[in-house]
Amino acid sequence: MKLGTREPWWREWPLALAIVALALAMLGHGWIVSAMEQPALLVVLLVIICGVILAAAIAIVRHAEVLAHRLGEPAGTLLLTLAITGLEVTMVALVMSTGSEKPTLARDTMFAVVMLVLNGCVGLALLLGGLRHHEQQFNLQSANAFLVMILPLTVLGLILPNYTEATPGPTLSKFQMVFLSVMSVGIYSVFLFLQNHRHRGFFMASGEAAEAAAPELEPPSPHSTYYHAAMLGFYGLPLVLLAKQMAAPLDAIVSKLGAPPALGGFIMALLVLTPESIAAIRAALANRLQRSVNILLGSVLASIGLTIPLVIAVSLATGRTLMLGIDPAGTVMLVLTLLTSILTFSLPRTNVLLGCVHLLLFGAYLMLMFDR
């Protein structure tokens, strides 16, 4: 797009759609309550809300990608990751604190993020990238940096609560929750410093440093950086409020259809991860696997690192129970996924075989969700 070219105003239609949908949901609260007793209407209502959220999330990614392009790597990908993860974390916190207690929602969402990204999205990116380019390269140091952070956070957040003795069940005492929050923030802060200051080169493929230093001849948008930053906020506010409106229909549909309780967390994760996953898969198809690695592994790390302290804060502030520990079958899947990811990203090149293995693990996760 050449400098001076104007984008059509109607390109921001998802923002208008999100505002209209939010207004209708708030004004038509009584109609939504009556729809709770009719499964067919409930499904239609949930599909409409999810569709609006997805359209607005894709628009958020569009604005974040422009900012990412201008900031360069790895700061650009980090911004894209934080924009989507911030949306996910806020949605989880709002839904968790709305209506009846949902002690497992945060756990189910975090587990779903790990399974969706490390198995579903990574598998699809490696499969499609391998089919088009046979083998693809990336910076091993970046994957190692991500995984060495992801491993302790997922184990401490999703497995350790099953084995503590201070409280019954898969829960933590107040002191343990505060410690886990501080540790999560600390680990993620150290990673951000490493990624953006001390070891920026770890997260760039060979040749990207020269590209980043080259002058930008053709901006991806005629609008200013401040415009795109403001649009992130304008989209984000109605989106998180819509997520709050989605809480009651989501609870009702899971209950009425006899679906597994983990389905709510899976839908939440799928909604916010779809636009980011599309960006990562497009990068793999363009033979930019390093960008895919930064987006996908970065989203897992940000999701766990930011969700844990926020939901713990909500739990402590509201007095609501927070269950973090996953069941034995989930523990096996999580450990298997982490080990497979470590092996996958210990090789200098990826191929179709590795993608297929991750997709098979994702299939096993879906199977176990519906049939234990």
Q: How far is CA 190 from the centre of its chain?
A: 20
State how far the Cα of 108 lies from the Cα of 52, in Å rounded to an integer.
Answer: 23
| Contact (CB, 8 A) for 169 and 211 | no
- Alpha-carbon torsion (9, 13, 14, 18), positive or negative: positive
Q: Can you tell me the mean pLDDT for 122-146? A: 91
Closest CA to 150 of 298, 2, 253: 298
Best-predicted range by mean pLDDT (79-83, 118-122, 251-255): 118-122
pLDDT tens digits, one per residue of 200-238: 777 776 655 444 444 444 446 677 778 887 887 788 778
State the pTM of this model.
0.82
Check whether 98 has a pLDDT greater than 70.
Answer: no
Please tell me the number of Cα atoms within 13 Å of 291 on its side-chain side. Answer: 25
DSSP assignment string, 96-133: HTSSS--TTHHHHHHHHHHHIIIIIIHHHHHHHHHHHH
Please tell me the number of Cα atoms within 13 Å of 278 on its side-chain side. Answer: 15
Question: Quick one: pLDDT at residue 72?
Answer: 67
Domain boundaries, the chain: 9-370
Burial of 48 (0-12, 13-18, 19+ CB in 10 A): middle
List of residues 6+ apart from 318 with CB closer than 8 A: 97
Q: Which residue has the higher pLDDT, 284 or 93?
A: 284
Question: Quick one: pLDDT at residue 77?
Answer: 66
pLDDT band at 285 (very low <50, low <70, confident <90, very high): very high
CATH 1.20.1050.10 fits 9-370, yes or no: no
Which residue in the block uniquely carries the two structure tokens 């999560």?
184
State how far the Cα of 316 lies from the Cα of 264, in Å rounded to an integer.
Answer: 22
